[in-house]
Structure formats: structure tokens, C-alpha cells
Amino acid sequence: MRTNYNELIPQGVLFNLAQIQDMGLLKTDMAKKLIAKGILEFVKIGNKIHIARTELIRYLEDNTVPKTA
């Protein structure tokens, strides 16, 4: 059974790093490292970094290790 991140992550288009940390998905420092490495795509509005909901779901699905029987 795969985790359905679409149901777990609140509706919205973009989330700033503080919101993502508040959701318990990624710490701000880790998100910044993933962005610097080009692993996470982001949108910069003013001086704030935002990550699309679809990008969060993609990252989480790509990095979810399936349960072994």
C-alpha cells in the first residue's frame, strides 16, 4: 500500500518553507539543501522561496521506500 500524499497535504498551489516545516514534511534547512542541489524545483516571489504542492508530492513519492514483507 502506497501513501496517498495527495490526501495528506493540504490543498493549495504554493507553500513557503515555513508552511512546509509546519506541516512536518521537511525542515527549512533540508528544503534549502535540496533546492541548492537542484532536487526540488521552487518559485521565488520577492525574497521568499515557495514550493508547489505538486513538487512536494513528487519529491515525497520519489523518496518513499516501500514496505518490505
- CATH code that applies to domain 5-62: 1.10.10
The DSSP bridge partners found for residue 44 are: 49
| Domain coordinates in residue numbering, the chain | 5-62
Residue 14 pLDDT > 90 = yes
At residue 20, does pLDDT exceed 70? yes
pLDDT digits (tens, 9 = 90+) for 25-56: 999 999 999 999 999 999 999 999 999 999 99
Q: Which three cell numbers stand for residue 47?
A: 525574497
The per-residue DSSP string of the chain comes to: ----HHHHSPS-SEEEHHHHHHTTS--HHHHHHHHHTTSS--EEETTEEEEEHHHHHHHHHHTPPPPP-
pTM of the predicted protein model: 0.85
